């Protein structure tokens, strides 16, 4: 299953809201996870099952979608949110990742 994320780059300011899209090449039900990557830190699982927040994920993060179209939304951006975000499908083997979205400070 190919996963296509957009945009690849996104510039925003603290306090703004942003959305990242992830599209699967075939239906994956709600078997989608979102991760955050920051330099020098282990990747962090934010959301699984399309919209379920992992323990410890701030409530300003939300996930939506099912089938082939998914969205990660971050409301009221904080400085620590500037990072790279990946989606991943786990509906079937091999698990596959999107190409990533780099969220930069405007």
Contact status, residue 84 vs residue 23, Cβ threshold 8 Å: no
C-beta separation of 21 from 71 below 8 A: yes
Which CB atom, from 54 or from 62, has the smaller least distance to other proteins? 54
Q: Is 74 within 8 Å of 61 (Cβ atoms)?
A: yes
Taking every pair of Cα atoms in the chain, the longest distance, rounded to a whole number of angstroms, is 38
Going residue by residue from 16 to 55, which x/- string records binding to other proteins, judged by CB under 8 A?
Answer: ---------------x-x-x----xxxxxx--x-----x-
Q: Does 10 bind other proteins (CB under 8 A)?
A: no
Q: Is 72 in the site for other proteins (CB under 8 A)?
A: no
**Between 13 and 41, CB nearer to other proteins:** 41
């Amino acid at each position: 299953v190919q996963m296509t994320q957009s945009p690849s780059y996104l510039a925003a300011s603290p306090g703004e809201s942003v959305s990242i899209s992830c599209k699967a090449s075939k239906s994956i039900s709600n078997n989608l996870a979102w991760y955050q990557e920051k330099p020098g830190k282990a990747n962090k699982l934010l959301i699984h099952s399309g919209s379920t927040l992992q323990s410890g994920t701030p409530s300003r993060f939300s996930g939506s979608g099912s089938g082939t179209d998914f969205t990660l939304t971050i409301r009221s951006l904080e400085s620590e949110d500037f990072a790279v975000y990946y989606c991943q499908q786990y509906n079937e083997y091999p698990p596959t990742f999107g190409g990533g979205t780099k969220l930069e400070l405007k």
